[in-house]
Structure 1
Amino acid sequence: MKYLSLIFLCFIALFRVAAQTPKISELKELYATTASDSVQVQTLINLINEYIGHNPDSLAYFAQKLDTHPGKDKNRNGQKSVNVAYAMYYYDKAEFDSSIVYIDKNIEISIAQGDSVGISSNLTNASIVLIGQSKYQTAIEYLLRALAIQEGNEKFAPKFVANTYNVISMAYHNMKNFETAQEYQWKALNVYKANAMETDLIRSYTNLGSNFLAMNKNDSAMYYFGVGLSLSRKNKDERKLAELSRMIGDLYLKEQKYDSAQFHYENSLQYFGDNKSTKEVTEAMVGLGTVYFEKGNYPRAYEMHKQAKDLFADRGDELETSRTLWLMSKDLQKLGRYEDAYQAIAESKTLSDTLQAKNSADAIAEMQVKYETEKKEKDLALQGVQLSAQELELNRQELLRNVAIAGALLLGVVALLIFQIKSRSNKTITAQNELLGKSLSEREALLKEIHHRVKNNLQIIASLLYLQSDESENLDAKRLLEEGQGRVRSMALIHQKLYENDDLKHIPFDEYLNELIGEIKLSFGDMAKDVALEVEAKNIFFDVDTAVPLGLIINELSTNAFKYAYTQRMGGGVFKVVLQHEEGAYHLTVSDNGSGIPDELMHATQSASLGLKLTRMLSDQLEGDYRFSNSNGTTFELKFAV
């Protein structure tokens, strides 16, 4: 996955003015009718801002207009806007070297102006190009330098810093360091939430979904894609609707749900409309072509793959052109066009070969020739020695052969008798085993499907609770809905673990707890970043009847801890969960070293806290003995039998 949509964030941050820019049609009319050079220049800058990330060709057109305008140099941001537009245009065309030339020009301008915002922004932009060249570690070094300038500097709006978090997340994602990528993405998400930046929230939810998809957590990916899709519809953001539809199509294709994949790919292309110049559109075409292939519609598969190949080739993307040619060859084979299929394979291989270093290929070929030559020389030398030895060996082998034939005949008669006896019983046993195996497989498949559907339904409920909380202006209602969403997701995770596990009756609780508490910690962002997690539950397995109430108890206690326990503590926070099986009973201990629960709440029979009520009620449901204590934080202990 690539977060290509992030590229324009830092470019735009340089030149957005405080007031909302007019619509594109109004800007074009203003440019055509005004006689003022300064107004024309500012209008061209505003048009460039509007087209960044949307239409590369229009972006380049207005950049050229601004570059040749006589009043450009009188505007502080005139030349910067030109450089940004060309950098973005070449980046979208995957011409990274040309893109970075224009970024370097802006770095020089920013240094000359003493502009810390410009320096930081262009460090970020350079890192994005480095990411495009797969130079991820160098990109991260640039980004951390930019972040050091931004954090705590009043010149940088919260959105600017959040955008840098986003790009750092992108770099770690592409290095396959998904956990660190997730941490930075949560940082960005929390800033966007706190400042009600819905457009940026959509991007952040999209990136979270992409990260989960790369981690093969398809259900979490679908959840965040779904939230992003809902917000995109609300904001009528057709580009994000197109991008998210394409990503959901990729997810369904991965799960071999071809009808659903086709629906979302077609939606993606419809949202993109006539704008067929971006890589995202081309990737949607590739996905749709693959769906057609899997459904047996080979003419449509070939048509889609050929269009995608032509677009990749126009952009000079040799790697993707080669990959798509290979897909076309499969389409052509199914259509019976074997000569064309061979030609497509040959073109694909030629392109692939050009991407590899020629010296490496020559060296490998030279080593292969040398190896074959030496091997032949050794074979000839051995043949001379072996000829004399072969004559003696033939005489010895003839004697052994005669003895072996006689022995083999005797053994054959005995083996035939044994085989006839065993074959009759083996046929009966095999038939019975096949019948039992088939019944067991069908039962397991049915149970997995049931758990999968239960989990999907719970995910839908969680999504509805999220959307309702997002619409609510009542803070108490919003908080209750968010807490309900967390409880539903903890139950959904249990059913997910059941259908992912080979044992459909028992959940590996150590794995479940690490994922549950880890997700809860990430959702609190900076509030919980310095809290260390310690989970001990090795070789503990529960069925769904025990796992659900126990998971909800731990969900309540961990949520309360991250929300309240560490607010007055500066570092050194520890949240610990220990679950052990001793003397026929299970012992659960959940503790934190925070500020503790007030005594009047802990010992009240009718607690004002719904979380504490639920904890007590669920402990009773497990028929367990429990107690709370305040000693260097809060400790909850539960003893129960299963």
Structure 2
Amino acid sequence: HTTADTALQEKYGILFANLALNYNGLAKTDSGLYYIHKAIDYSRKNENLFALSNSLAIEAQLYVRAGMNELAETPLKEMVEIRKLIGDPFYIVSDMSQLSLYYAHNGQPEKGIALCEEGIAIAKQYKIDTKLFFLYSVLAENYKAAGNNVKYAEVLEKVINLKDSVFTRNSAEALAEMQTKYEVQKKENVIIRQTLDITQKTYLFYGMVLLSVFAAIVTWILFRSYRRKEKIKLQLLQAEERRISGEAIKAAEENERKRIAADLHDNLGAYAASIAANLDHIATQEMTADGKAALQQLKNNSQSIVAQLNDTIWVLKKDALPLTAISDRLKTFIHRIESSYPLIKMDVVEKIEHDYLLSPSQAFHLFQILQEAINNAVRHSGCKQITVYVESELSWKIVVQDDGKGIGSKTVHGYGNGLSNMKNRADESGWDITWKNGAGTQVVIAPVVMAGSTTK
């Protein structure tokens, strides 16, 4: 069960030789001999001389270990001959020394001496100094085995001298090697120091660059922060200045408004009251029917002037007016006019949960719109009931409703003079005003609701 691949078969000799060597290490010589014979067969078959010489050396070791010394000579001799065929002096003298040692231990010192002499000559020829020491040691063993103590002593002296020579040479070589290593290390240290110096300078350079960049970034951030703070400070100063200016303007307007109200009350109010009193005195005098009619018209006009003036002064005197105040003023207005329209019932219905504040101008416009709506109803609708609904929750709304004949679509879309004034007042105050026909007329006034906001 082997492969037919010759390239793999050539490796079998080496594999079986390694198995035999391991079994030899385990003292299992039978198994070792079994595998070494396979290794030798494959090495011969594939003509692998190097593997064959190594396998023969292992076979000789196994024979010696197994106590079959007489069988070890043949593989050792063949091993030397194969080494000579290969032609490598190092392995030739190495295997010669092994065979010579075998001769020394197995009663053939003459063969061992001759073989050692041959090996020493080859080692000297090829300057294989590393093998000379072992060859001389084996030669001494052979002289000892031969009983030639003189030669044994001479060879031992050569071994000692060779040791000293080798030691001296090795010491000199070691010293030279150490000196060379020292010089090399010295140069390497110089290079390392130079490299380190260059690296440090490079790191220092890049560190300075990074530090400069970081400092520039920090400076830029601080500068931006400073500018932002200064800008915010300027905006706050400007806002404060606008607030102070607005408050000053508002205070000036309030003062002017109060002054105008006082002037109207003190001057025009006195004159209007005087005119009304004089008309009452004239009315006691006898005059024609036309004169009485003209006097009555003049009296009505003077009363209207006084009422209008009182309403204006009422608005101008206040900083802001709540819906309840406007509703109360409207009740006073209805009470004043309802005696002139005894067939029409007038009511004010309040549902005020949040009392919104209006500016004086808004309060004035709202009151004028409501007056106009009521006047239009009593004069033109033919109604019997007028109800004013005043409501306020999230926002406010006022509805003037009558049960009259309604208002024509042409009148609404064309805006009569009175309706046009009502529309203009509502637009100026930011309100919606609509007229609805049904069982009478509804006039609805409410703030304009912007998308996404809540009107208050």
TM range (shorter): 0.3 to 0.5
TM-score (norm 2): 0.33
TM-score (norm 1): 0.24
Which one has the largest radius of gyration?
2
